[in-house]
Amino acid sequence: MTVNANTWLYVVIQKVGREDQIVGQTDAESKIAFIPAFYNKETAQQAMLHLHLERKHKYELQAMIYEDLARHAIDGGFVIFVLDEDGKVLERLPDVA
């Protein structure tokens, strides 16, 4: 799938009081900070089992347009990894050679 500025991706949101925060992760091998994103909600629900999430927090899935997600990622020093249901990287955004 080709992701463009208007593509909707699902991300995991942590509920912190009245604030919502996009969940980030760190790749253990490469030490890259990334935001896990998914093409659809069903895949995101399955993949959440593979993410490192703290048990005491509340999480939910939300669809977010790529343009907005990319802005949040850049501001926070993250890249975006589009993952499959097993947590494997399908795409790295922005795509760098």
Per domain, the residue ranges of the chain are: 8-93
Distance of CA 3 to the CA centre of its chain: 14
| Res. 95 pLDDT band, cuts 50 70 90 | low
pLDDT of residue 97: 40
- Burial class of residue 43, CB neighbours in 10 A (0-12, 13-18, 19+): middle
pLDDT of residue 18: 86
**Pairing between β-strand 79-83 and β-strand 33-38 as defined by DSSP bridges:** parallel
| Res. 92 pLDDT band, cuts 50 70 90 | very high
